[in-house]
Amino acid sequence: FDTVSMAFGMHHLDDITAVLSEMMRALKPGGMFVLRENYRDVEDKRQMTDVLQHDWYAKIDSLLGKPHYPSLTRKEIVEYVDAIGLSWYETQKHLCDDCPRS
């Protein structure tokens, strides 16, 4: 594939490394790997409320037998990306002050 992507899915995976490795296998040389994920090391109380709310939902889903785990830290996400051998990547932090809040 020219492009492979995952959005907000890492924290639902039982084996993150296996899934990311398979995505890399499917990506043709020079292709684009796009990963968008929530992270838990946030900078303000409002963002922490989102993290804690997500953790609560993840706990409920887990009790119901659905794979759903707490968000990873940015460092953990980068470690997973490093482990699959991407030759180049950049990280961006996105904060949305106008995004609707639950």
40 part of a folded domain: yes
Using a pLDDT cut of 70, give the percent of the chain over it: 90
52 part of a folded domain: yes
Helix, strand or coil for residue 11? helix
Structural domains of the chain, count:
1
On whether the pTM is more than 0.85, the answer is no
31 part of a folded domain: yes
9 part of a folded domain: yes
100 part of a folded domain: no
Which amino acid appears at position 73 of this protein?
Answer: T
Q: Positive or negative CA dihedral for 74, 19, 96, 57?
A: negative
- pLDDT surpasses 80 at 101: no
93 part of a folded domain: no
- pLDDT surpasses 80 at 100: no
- For tokens 């995004």, the residue is 99
> What are the helix (H) ranges across 5-101?
16-26, 45-63, 74-83
61 part of a folded domain: yes
**Residue span of the structural domain in which 53 resides:** 3-83
Assign 66 a pLDDT band (cuts: 50, 70, 90). Answer: very high
